[in-house]
Every structure is written in C-alpha cells, then in structure tokens.
C-alpha cells in the first residue's frame, strides 16, 4: 500500500482525488508561501533559507522515490530512508552542514511525515502543558505555569492548515469555511480546539492542551500541594459511597484531571458510561463504555448531542454516568439521572464558586426546559448533587482544590451549602505566586452516617480546623 493510501487509511489526510502524493504531503518552500496578501518577508521559517530549501527538496525526493514502498507504521524504516536521502542530497548539492544541523533536518522531516511538523518538539517536551498557535508565525506555550512566546514557526498558512486537517480528520471530523470551528483530540488524548478564517482574520488558531503520559493520582495531587491527604480521603470515601459530585472551576483549572482522578475511586465491578464532546477521560476500570458526541455533517444533518447520548445511556444499564462537561440543556437529563437510581455520577461545569455552579446549572436547565419553575429546578439540583469540588488556577500557574462543599438542601427557596475544606490564600510571593494553605473548616460532614454505612469510617479529626502554618510552610 502506498504512503498516501496508508495516511488516508489512518485518517491523517483526506483521500486525494489524484495519485499525486506530492500535492498532498509536500512542504511549502518560503518562496512558494509568499502571496499577494502575504509577502515572502512575512513568512518566518524555523530554519534558515538554505536548510528550509533542503528540507523541501529532500521531502520531494521521498515522495517521488519511496511513496509506494514505505510502511507508515515502521518508524525505523522511514528514519533510515530519510537519513539516506538527506546524506545523498547534502553530498550532491555541496551543502555544508554541521552534524547537529543534519540531525535536526532528519528529525524535522520525520516529524512532518509521522508527526505534526513544527509542533512535534513542543508536544514531546514534558514541561509544555499547552500549545497556543495564534497564527502561523506566533506560537505560545505554557511551561512551568508561565505563558511564553516560542521561536517555532510555520512557514505558511498552508502548512498550518495541513497540520489542522491531519488532526481533525484522524477522528472523522472536518474544519472548513462552512464549519470553521472544531473540537478534536490527539492520539494520546490531548485536547485540541481549532478555529479558522473568516472567524479569525489573521490566520488559523490551534490550541492543544496536553495530557500527561503518566496519569495523576490522588497522591500526586497531595505531593503537588493541590490537596491534602484529608481532602483526598474524604473525596475517595464520597465516590465509594456513591455521592454525586460536580467539579467546578474556570478554564484550564484542572477540572478534567480531577474528574479522572476521582473516577479512579469507583469500584472495578461497576458499569461506567462516560459522555463527552471529545473523549478525554481515561478510566482505568475494565467495565467502561466511552461515548462521544458528533457534529453535523456538511449538509447540516446527523448531529448527535451530549443530551441525546445521555438519554440513550439510561437504556444501557449504567451504574455510574460521567459527563465530561455540562454546558447546555443536558444538565436537566444529568440531574434526572442522578435522581433516578444513578447515584454516584459525576460531571464538571464552568463556575467561579460552588454557589455559582448551582446558578449555572439552573441556567442550563432553563435552556432546555423553560416551563419549569425556579424552585423545582433548585430542588432537582439539591436532591441530585451531594458535593461540589471547586478547583482554581492561581497566580503563578498552580492549580489547587480551593473548596469542597456539601449540599444540605433548600431553605427559603435557596440552596444551602456547607464548606468542609478550603484553601486560604494569604499573600503573593515576589515572583508572582499565590501562597496559602489548605484547612478544614471545622464543620462535620453531614454524610458521616452514610460513610459508615458504606464501610468508609472517616475519623472526626479530618474535619477539625487546621492551625495556620508558619510563613515558610505556605505553598
């Protein structure tokens, strides 16, 4: 099978109408990237012109001479062929290269064929947690809690568009002028968002939120000062005791990561169904069904929303339902599921506090059931959800669980929440980091009897107020 056919079979490129692999996979040279609207001076290659030209010509040789013989799954074979062609080109052209430049050239060609081109080194960097492409010549990353501009560049809009097409086509989605926004994921589960012109006039925007290769655990959160052992023991008991939990927080605060960790406390003998826009949760249990929504096709038909999947999941005999994120009318179906025999289900919402999360859920329910009175909606929320866990990304980039609150019911038409644990921020360090400490509030959990009945006997000292630590012990 030809290289083109193998790429298309794996969804890395669309099946081309012609057999000219060069037109589908070639690297655009700086001179070719220049147009009337984008002068050549604005195209900023990551290599100098001579190396950039060498890379393009070697790539053309690979397409012409080896497209039908290369096995796209054999990385070692492809690397050997690239090395041979690069060495031959340098010898024939008389190009003077240092060994480090030669190795970089081979690596970049390998990234173009098997990876995501200029982005591949950033994705392989363990310190980079987010990659943000504002336009082809402006790429930011988040590293160690700081957002910094990199010197990585795409050589043209066409090269960036090729990478975007490779990402979205791999999961059967598309992005074009008729559908200029798309959520997708990489093979490792990293979250991808794409938006292209005309919605962004200065070039396509691509945002990649990387997922750690090694999944975090509750012990990792404690080690990172994102939580305390008491908090994690309480949350583990809450999950095992089938309390329904909602994780709330802002963008990039760690909601999905925490949801993944909490799902690890679900007993292995339970049937779990996860429902997401793009499958990101990676549960370790064996009895798990992953469901993913589907956007409309080019004719505007065939869309399957999270709400549709949620309703269908109720006929699949789940013990727990995990909704990756509630952001619309599916909130009502989730609450009804929690109230009709699916206790212990979990989800996330965007909100700045547990009280705001209740208001957000009420608003989302109203988008799908405007005829329901507010009191009926609030009663559904307070009877369905037992615990709100608030996470936040603080100054300096640290992510913390800042509040764990229990729902105790309705009083005078208002939901009642009692905070069990909180993070108290005391000051900001000279380098811009928030400093504080976690503490219990001293309020005893209303679910203590429930924990005991389920074999999760938590000692009272977990809920005793913690003494404020010394200044040097703040984190």
Mean of pLDDT over the chain: 82
Q: How far is it, in rounded angstroms, from Cα 397 to Cα 385? A: 29
Smallest CA-to-CA distance from 433 within 389, 390, 474 is with: 474
As a whole number of angstroms, the distance between CA 180 and CA 198 comes to 8
- The better pLDDT of the pair 443, 4 is held by 443
341 Cβ contact partners less than 8 Å away, ≥ 6 residues apart: none
Lowest mean pLDDT across 17-21, 210-214, 404-408, 460-464: 17-21
Helices then strands, counting H and E runs in the chain, come out as 16, 15
The pTM of the full predicted model, rounded to 2 decimals, is 0.77
Domains and CATH numbers, the chain: 1-114 (no CATH), 122-213 (3.30.450.370), 218-473 (3.40.50.300)
Give dist(CA 408, CA 79) in Å, integer. 61
Segment 153-210, tens digit of pLDDT: 887 888 888 888 888 887 777 888 888 888 888 877 788 999 998 898 888 999 998 8
Residue 149 has pLDDT above 90, yes or no: yes
Query: What percent of the chain is helix, strand and coil (3-state, nearest 5)?
Result: 35, 20, 40
């Amino acid at each position: 099978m030809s290289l083109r056919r193998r790429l298309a079979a794996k969804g890395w490129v669309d099946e081309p109408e012609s057999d000219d692999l060069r037109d589908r996979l070639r690297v655009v040279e700086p001179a070719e990237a220049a147009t009337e609207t984008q002068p050549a001076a604005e195209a900023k290659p990551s290599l100098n012109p001579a190396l950039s030209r060498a890379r393009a010509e070697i790539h053309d040789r690979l397409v012409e001479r080896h497209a039908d013989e290369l096995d796209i799954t054999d990385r070692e074979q492809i690397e050997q062929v690239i090395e041979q062609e690069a060495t031959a080109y340098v010898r024939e052209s008389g190009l003077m290269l240092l060994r480090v430049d030669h190795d970089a050239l081979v690596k970049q060609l390998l990234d173009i064929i098997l990876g995501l081109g200029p982005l591949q080194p950033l994705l392989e960097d363990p310190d980079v947690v987010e990659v943000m492409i504002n336009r082809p010549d402006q790429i930011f990353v988040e590293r160690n809690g700081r957002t910094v501009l990199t010197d990585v560049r795409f050589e043209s809009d066409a090269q960036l568009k090729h990478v975007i097409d490779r990402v979205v086509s791999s999961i059967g989605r598309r992005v074009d002028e008729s559908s200029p926004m798309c959520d997708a994921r990489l093979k490792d589960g990293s979250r991808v968002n794409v938006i292209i012109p005309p919605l962004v006039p200065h070039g396509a925007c691509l945002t990649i939120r990387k997922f750690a290769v090694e999944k975090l655990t509750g012990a990792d959160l404690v080690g990172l000062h994102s939580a305390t052992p008491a908090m994690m023991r309480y949350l583990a008991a809450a999950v095992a005791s089938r309390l329904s939990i909602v994780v709330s927080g802002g963008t990039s605060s760690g909601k999905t990561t925490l949801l993944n960790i909490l799902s690890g406390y679900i007993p292995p003998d339970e049937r779990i169904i996860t429902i997401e826009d793009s499958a990101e949760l990676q549960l370790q249990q064996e009895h798990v069904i992953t469901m993913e929504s589907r956007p409309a096709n080019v004719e505007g038909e065939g869309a399957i929303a999270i709400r549709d999947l949620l309703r269908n999941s109720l006929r699949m005999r789940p013990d727990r339902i995990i909704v990756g994120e509630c952001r619309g009318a599916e909130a009502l179906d989730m609450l009804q599921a929690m109230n009709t025999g699916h206790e212990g289900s979990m989800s996330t919402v965007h909100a700045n506090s547990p009280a705001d999360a209740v208001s957000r859920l009420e608003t989302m329910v109203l988008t799908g059931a405007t005829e329901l009175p507010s009191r009926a909606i609030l009663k559904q929320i307070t009877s369905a959800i037992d615990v709100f866990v608030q996470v936040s990304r603080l100054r300096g980039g640290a992510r913390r669980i800042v509040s764990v609150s229990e729902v105790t019911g309705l009083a005078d038409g208002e939901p009642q929440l009692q905070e069990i644990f909180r993070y108290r921020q005391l000051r900001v360090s000279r380098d811009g980091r928030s400093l504080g400490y976690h503490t219990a509030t001293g309020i005893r959990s209303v679910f203590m009897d429930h924990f005991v009945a389920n074999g999760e006997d938590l000692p009272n000292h977990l809920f005793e107020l913690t003494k404020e630590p010394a200044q040097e012990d703040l984190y």
